[in-house]
Chains A and B, each alone.
Chain A
Amino acid sequence: MVTQYAFFFDAAACSGCKACQVACKDRNDLGPGTLWRRVYEVTGGGWEKKGQVWVPSVIAYNVSMACNHCENPVCGAACPVKAIWKREDGIVFVDTDLCIGCRYCEWACPYTALRFHAATNTVSKCDFCYDAVDAGKPPACVAACPRRALDFGDLADLRKKYGDLRHIHPLPDPEQTGPALVLRPHRDAARAAERGAEVANWEEV
């Protein structure tokens, strides 16, 4: 019995190709501008002139992220009309029929998982491909990854398989929401804070 579905993401293996992002859009018929899963490019470091050459201390890695279906979903707590639900297997849903477009959830979510759409005045987000999962199949993003960098399962099982890391720079403090997320860090993640790494592709995510 799954008590909390979760994603695993291998930052060391992710190239940033965005096959996950587009597989999600295809499955859910999402137009441009609506990114239930998106890939953050994290870049830090710089260049220093040594003699006649420029030498880089540049670091970079990617973070692919959908909704983390948090153990403590602050989006739902922020919703004044109770349009956000958590299923007993941990999947967090938005009921767009109830949504009034106030965007409090979007404001509350530290992972920018909620996506507002002006034309319908509603938010939407990743639903973990719940119907596929119910049928024993992986979510679209997990099945898509050419590098096999994504996995899914019960949070406890994923932690047994991959460890219990659920934070890498510059993600928010996991204590805020208890993200159902297990991570494997990229080699550069350990040096990211000291080299001032930040999201470099806000225009894409």
Chain B
Amino acid sequence: MSLKKKIETASITRRSFLRWGAAVGSSAAASHKLLGAFRRRDPNHALVEAAPPAEERMIRVGCPSHNCGGRCLLRVHVRDGVIVRIDTDDRPGDTVADPQLRACVRGRAYRKRQYHRDRLQFPMKRVGKRGEGKFERVSWDEALDRIAAEFERIKKAYGNQAFYVPYGTGSYNQINGRQTAQRLMNLYGGSLGFYNSYSWAAISAATPYVYGTGVTGNQRQDWLNSKYILMWGWNPAEMRDGTNTEFFVQKAREKGARVVCIDPRMTLSAVSLADEWIPIRPGTDAAMMSAMAWVMVTEKLHDAAFIKTHCVGFDGTQMPAGAEGAESYLDYLLGTRDGTPKTPAWAEAVTGVPRETIARIAREYATMKPGVLYQGYGMQRRAYGEQPVRAGCVLAAITGNVGVPGGWASGIALQAPDGGPFWLVFPTGPNPVKALIPSFLWTEAVLRGTRMGPADGVRGAERLDTDIKCIWAVACNALINQHSNINRTAGILADEKKVEFLLVQDNFLTPTGRFADILLPVCTQFETWGLEDGWKYGDEVILMPKVVEPPFETKSDYRICAEIAARLGFEQAYTEGRTERDWVAWSLDRYRRTRFPGVPTLDEFERSNAGVYSVPVTEPAVAFADFRRDPAKHPLPTPSGKIEIFSKALHDMNNPAEIPAVPKYIQEWESPFGPEAAKYPLSAIGHHYLSRVHSTMEGVDWLEEAFPQRLFINPLDAEPRKLANGDLVKVWNDRGACVVPCRLTRRIMPGVVALPQGAWWTPDKDGVDRRGSINVLTSDRWTPLAFGNAQHTIMVQVARAEKS
């Protein structure tokens, strides 16, 4: 144990100990201390007596790659084949251009996940009803034979479109995770595909309607050139959004930038990065943005010259052909057509933000230039999530903050100049099935796939050939836990006539795993080979060597797929003769040919134990700099070649109530202003929480201790409900209920409660979740343009609960 080593390696023989009330140094008692009797008892473990220390190796390795928003470097200490300690990047220098990739609290707690007693050990088959969670151990041969037989049966009966490998983000280390299954499926004739994600469906769809691309972000070091940073629903201290993103904002602020955070919660980011926190009612961001634009326009603070040369649709003078008479953005702001000027007074009633604050922030952002309006993704996982995305982009455009150092174009902000990190390097190959569904609509494809077409967001087909009949969930807890409306989804999956075969691979028995027909135990990312690059931002490649052996009967996702492929007759095509490590070498070669010409070979990389190859950013790229300089020579990839404040493409969709051609505030389908508020008066949001990565790392005691699961509620809302801090509360609406302790906090807006997303669904005998899994409350309705999840748009009621 490390204590012993600590004592032995410490140079205490050169020290003397000063004992209270005793003479210094030379007493017999002090000498006794020097001879090693000074031992510290670990309060939770028996004292370990002296034994020769085993050799300890330190390996630099990428932190297991989940969908956490970071990609960090760990130093893993291994003794006798066991990880005994984890620390983080300690490269000398630690400059803004090339900072250390220090891990967050979750990476630091990883040992507790790695050696968790609940890890899956053996393949299992379901023995009870589906979803009941009753399993029996089987051999790998029995499990794999059954899988191959089910695949063959389903392929013959329904064709390849009946297979679905859903969105799942539990493992992104390239050679482990869902992409390994997708490669197999693609070689097997394909499977129903999907597009977009649960993270940023609306922002990835809406941003290109303004800019023609998602590559709207500067490299982050450029924030040090900014005078003003508006963190709008953006919380990098809790969801990271790139390792070191919060650190760069901190550096920008230290350099003099004023930082303002707009969020219903006074987040860790608001506390530690911002000069001012402005609470806003969830789902009303587009109203405040519109009122800010109204202030800028009426006070002539907008950049009229830039609008004239670089934008279309701002006013009646620059409407696109075919839409000359349509409502311009200025028309909307002034209320020319709808009779409602979007004044700060109007927005105050909607947003809960005082009118003078709205006007002041508008003036600050329009005059303290260059400035950044950074849009967080929470506000776009909402009913009309496309609207605040486009409204934010338009504010950046009309203030002329596009294409300049220190500015920021807003939108999804993939990193300039090339879109940033790769996301997927491991080759899945082409999918012979061309039909794609929006990732969030998979339950629809189970229920009514053959009736789904473009009106439901289907691409690549006029109609689906079949409903989904086989789901293969790899590193995916999004079937139950992270998908909306758990009670509905559970009912769909429990019906064995709909999804006929459900295969789940994971490290733990997740709520999704409970519905498996066959459940396979997967090793962790420390137990196989992988690699990763930056998360959205960053210019580094991080190696993930295998540091310990897979325990029990666990295997890597890649190995499992290879063995299924063998039973289906195409193992060689699947593996191309490569091991996991060989694929890492292959991937490094691909990086070397593309973004990272200087990246070492795998052998060099491994020998150096460097862990990371990084490219310092000394001159951060600025998105749209060329367009800014010469819009005629460097037009945007939009239909007009300019920034589309008004989108003719959206106009032509002819659904102005839900998909307006200029960004608008639209009252959400569940809202404090709707009739539903009488029954469910509180807006509920499910923010990211540092105890988990979505649902990954649930049950890690160090993290639960640091960030317990609970409902955050303002004392003003707790008082009429007679709630005291720590009371057990029931949270419910028409879709479901959960029971969870409450935490009274002044750091949330009155009328809003927050229940951290990702807690594992734990229904009691009455179907009430006892863990605080927010998706028992969320709605399966999707956003109009992107067909994206709108999971944060929910209203609930809260009352004191009885202990069960």
Query: Residues of A at under 8 Å CB distance from B?
Result: 12-19, 21-23, 25-35, 43, 45-47, 50-56, 58, 60-62, 76-77, 79, 82, 84-89, 93-97, 115, 117, 119-120, 122, 124, 127, 130-131, 134-135, 140, 143-148, 186-187, 200, 203-204
Q: A152 vs B109: C-alpha distance in the bound complex, in angstroms?
A: 23
Contact between chains at A33 and B705 (CB < 8 Å): yes
Instruction: Report B-chain residues with C-beta under 8 Å of the C-beta of A87.
Output: 15-18
Counting CB contacts under 8 A, is B455 at the interface?
A: no
Instruction: Report A-chain residues with C-beta under 8 Å of the C-beta of B2.
Output: 27-29
Q: Indicate which residue in A35, A58, A96, A145 contacts B40 across the interface (CB closer than 8 Å).
A: A96
Q: A54 vs B751: C-alpha distance in the bound complex, in angstroms?
A: 10
Counting CB contacts under 8 A, is B105 at the interface?
A: yes
Q: Indicate which residue in A120, A144, A148 contacts B43 across the interface (CB closer than 8 Å).
A: A120
Contact between chains at B279 and A29 (CB < 8 Å): no
Instruction: Report A-chain residues with C-beta under 8 Å of the C-beta of B250.
Output: 13, 147
Instruction: Report A-chain residues with C-beta under 8 Å of the C-beta of B7.
Output: 131
Further pairs besides A15-B246, A77-B20: 10, Cβ < 8 Å: A15-B268, A15-B273, A18-B690, A27-B2, A34-B43, A43-B745, A58-B747, A76-B20, A97-B41, A146-B246
Q: Indicate which residue in B272, B353, B702 contacts A62 across the interface (CB closer than 8 Å).
A: B272
Q: A143 vs B90: C-alpha distance in the bound complex, in angstroms?
A: 7
Contact between chains at A17 and B104 (CB < 8 Å): yes
Taking CB atoms and an 8 Å cut-off, the chain B residues in 40-56 that contact chain A are 40-45, 47
Instruction: Report A-chain residues with C-beta under 8 Å of the C-beta of B28.
Output: none
Counting CB contacts under 8 A, is B35 at the interface?
A: no
Q: A61 vs B210: C-alpha distance in the bound complex, in angstroms?
A: 38
Instruction: Report A-chain residues with C-beta under 8 Å of the C-beta of B275.
Output: 187
Contact between chains at A22 and B272 (CB < 8 Å): no
Q: A183 vs B17: C-alpha distance in the bound complex, in angstroms?
A: 28
Instruction: Report B-chain residues with C-beta under 8 Å of the C-beta of A95.
Output: 33, 38-40
Contact between chains at B705 and A19 (CB < 8 Å): no
Q: A60 vs B94: C-alpha distance in the bound complex, in angstroms?
A: 29
Query: Residues of B at under 8 Å CB distance from A?
Result: 1-3, 6-7, 9-12, 15-22, 33, 37-45, 47, 85-88, 90, 94, 102-105, 108-109, 111, 237-238, 244, 246-247, 250, 266, 268-269, 271-273, 275, 277, 279, 348-349, 352-354, 690, 701-708, 714, 716, 726, 745-747, 749-751
Contact between chains at B41 and A122 (CB < 8 Å): yes
Instruction: Report A-chain residues with C-beta under 8 Å of the C-beta of B3.
Output: 28-29
Given A47-B750, A96-B41, A88:B352 Cβ within 8 A: no
Q: A120 vs B39: C-alpha distance in the bound complex, in angstroms?
A: 14
Contact between chains at B271 and A130 (CB < 8 Å): no
Contact between chains at A26 and B86 (CB < 8 Å): yes
CB distance from A9 to the nearest CB of B (A): 13
Contact between chains at A17 and B247 (CB < 8 Å): no
Instruction: Report B-chain residues with C-beta under 8 Å of the C-beta of A135.
Output: 9-11
Report, nearest first, the 4 A-B pairs whose CB atoms are least far apart.
A31-B44, A117-B43, A96-B41, A131-B10
Contact between chains at B750 and A54 (CB < 8 Å): yes
Q: Indicate which residue in B16, B102, B247, B354 contacts A53 across the interface (CB closer than 8 Å).
A: B354
CB distance from B747 to the nearest CB of A (A): 6
CB distance from B265 to the nearest CB of A (A): 11
Of A32, A124, A187, the most chain B CB neighbours within 10 A belong to A32
CB distance from A99 to the nearest CB of B (A): 8
Q: Indicate which residue in A16, A35, A55, A77 contacts B354 across the interface (CB closer than 8 Å).
A: A55
Given A62-B272, A87-B17, A146-B104, A119:B266 Cβ within 8 A: no
Contact between chains at B726 and A53 (CB < 8 Å): no
Q: A54 vs B746: C-alpha distance in the bound complex, in angstroms?
A: 12
Q: A15 vs B267: C-alpha distance in the bound complex, in angstroms?
A: 9
Instruction: Report A-chain residues with C-beta under 8 Å of the C-beta of B701.
Output: 31-32
Instruction: Report B-chain residues with C-beta under 8 Å of the C-beta of A124.
Output: 40-43
Given A19-B103, A19-B104, A54:B19 Cβ within 8 A: no
Task: Give me 21 A-to-B residue pairs in the complex whose CB atoms sit less than 8 angstroms apart, sorted by A's number.
Answer: A22-B109, A50-B354, A54-B279, A54-B352, A58-B266, A79-B20, A82-B22, A86-B18, A88-B15, A93-B17, A95-B40, A97-B37, A117-B44, A122-B41, A122-B43, A130-B10, A131-B7, A131-B10, A146-B247, A147-B246, A147-B247
Contact between chains at B706 and A15 (CB < 8 Å): no
Q: A79 vs B348: C-alpha distance in the bound complex, in angstroms?
A: 60
Residue of A nearest to B90 (CB): A143
Instruction: Report A-chain residues with C-beta under 8 Å of the C-beta of B349.
Output: 52
Q: A62 vs B271: C-alpha distance in the bound complex, in angstroms?
A: 8
Given A16-B272, A21-B706, A47:B746 Cβ within 8 A: yes
CB distance from B138 to the nearest CB of A (A): 35
Instruction: Report B-chain residues with C-beta under 8 Å of the C-beta of A18.
Output: 105, 690, 706-707
Q: A115 vs B43: C-alpha distance in the bound complex, in angstroms?
A: 9
Instruction: Report A-chain residues with C-beta under 8 Å of the C-beta of B18.
Output: 85-88
Q: A21 vs B528: C-alpha distance in the bound complex, in angstroms?
A: 29
Residue of A nearest to B268 (CB): A15
Contact between chains at B271 and A15 (CB < 8 Å): yes
Residue of A nearest to B41 (CB): A96
Contact between chains at A22 and B105 (CB < 8 Å): yes
CB distance from A112 to the nearest CB of B (A): 15
Instruction: Report B-chain residues with C-beta under 8 Å of the C-beta of A147.
Output: 246-247, 250, 272
CB distance from B243 to the nearest CB of A (A): 8
Q: A200 vs B747: C-alpha distance in the bound complex, in angstroms?
A: 10
Contact between chains at A82 and B43 (CB < 8 Å): no
Q: Indicate which residue in B1, B33, B268 contacts A17 across the interface (CB closer than 8 Å).
A: B268
Contact between chains at B747 and A60 (CB < 8 Å): yes
Q: Indicate which residue in B33, B703, B706, B749 contacts A54 across the interface (CB closer than 8 Å).
A: B749
Instruction: Report B-chain residues with C-beta under 8 Å of the C-beta of A31.
Output: 43-45, 701
Contact between chains at A94 and B40 (CB < 8 Å): yes
Contact between chains at A17 and B690 (CB < 8 Å): yes
CB distance from A198 to the nearest CB of B (A): 11
Instruction: Report A-chain residues with C-beta under 8 Å of the C-beta of B751.
Output: 54
Q: A32 vs B700: C-alpha distance in the bound complex, in angstroms?
A: 10
Contact between chains at B44 and A53 (CB < 8 Å): no
Instruction: Report A-chain residues with C-beta under 8 Å of the C-beta of B103.
Output: 19, 144, 146
Of A19, A27, A200, the most chain B CB neighbours within 10 A belong to A19
Instruction: Report A-chain residues with C-beta under 8 Å of the C-beta of B37.
Output: 97
Instruction: Report B-chain residues with C-beta under 8 Å of the C-beta of A51.
Output: 348, 354
Q: Indicate which residue in A14, A61, A131, A144 contacts B102 across the interface (CB closer than 8 Å).
A: A144
Residue of A nearest to B273 (CB): A15
Q: A130 vs B3: C-alpha distance in the bound complex, in angstroms?
A: 11
CB distance from B47 to the nearest CB of A (A): 8
Instruction: Report B-chain residues with C-beta under 8 Å of the C-beta of A93.
Output: 17, 38, 40
Instruction: Report B-chain residues with C-beta under 8 Å of the C-beta of A96.
Output: 39-41, 47
Q: Indicate which residue in B12, B38, B271 contacts A16 across the interface (CB closer than 8 Å).
A: B271
Instruction: Report A-chain residues with C-beta under 8 Å of the C-beta of B745.
Output: 43, 200
